[in-house]
Chains A and B, each alone.
Chain A
């Protein structure tokens, strides 16, 4: 089945140790998103790609970076994780990003920072 896949599902890292989360999609969608979701809160958009065009939200910390080497894959790099970065990270895609487009989410990666 076409889908959005995230690896790993659970990631444990140490304070300050870089970590990379990955996302792949078989939907061939143009737009890919990374969200941060903390417990009992709404998903918070970190950034998105329209094809290769990168768009950073104004309040996304510099500690968070992203790469999209091709249509199918997108990576979230956290350069120096702090305790406050522990959260669920959700990857999503949409076909063109129009205002009626559905977003398709992966299962998420739960990041723990020790």
Chain B
């Protein structure tokens, strides 16, 4: 079946540091890939997505590229801020509404 593997957290970075959160997947067919973010006390919200190989999703300074050859969708940001502290979930959808698979989440803490 489908699965998503994320790097374990928590990840602690100083403000303005470079961020990478690794995500790899296994899936049948041609999934769409997503990063969702969950701020403390809130629900998940879409950060970015990519729907086909080599697509790059980007939002709020975050980027991720859909790499079919390495089955990866790593999240990157060049300079993190304290306000980026949250839990980040990688997810895929390979076949419609019943097929969304989430990773276990990576908690990011950014310190001033």
Contacts and interface: CB of A to CB of B under 8 A. Distances in A.
Interface of A: 4, 6, 31, 33, 40-43, 45, 48, 50, 55, 57, 90, 92, 94, 97-108
B94 interface: yes
B94 A40 contact: no
Q: Is the interface of B mostly helix, strand, loop or mixed?
A: loop
B53 interface: no
Interface of B: 31-32, 34, 36, 41-46, 49, 51, 89, 93-100, 102-105
Nearest to A33: B97
A42 B44 contact: no
6 contacts: A42-B103, A42-B105, A43-B102, A97-B98, A99-B32, A101-B93
A9 B103 CA distance: 24
Nearest to B101: A42
A99 B44 contact: no
B32 A50 contact: no
B97 A105 contact: no
Residue among B89, B95, B100, B102 with most chain A CB within 10 A: B100
A48 B102 contact: no
B41 A107 contact: yes
Contact of B93 (A43, A48, A50, A100): A100
A64 to B, nearest CB: 16
Contacts of A108: 42-43
Given A97-B97, A99-B32, A99-B93, A42 B102 contact: yes
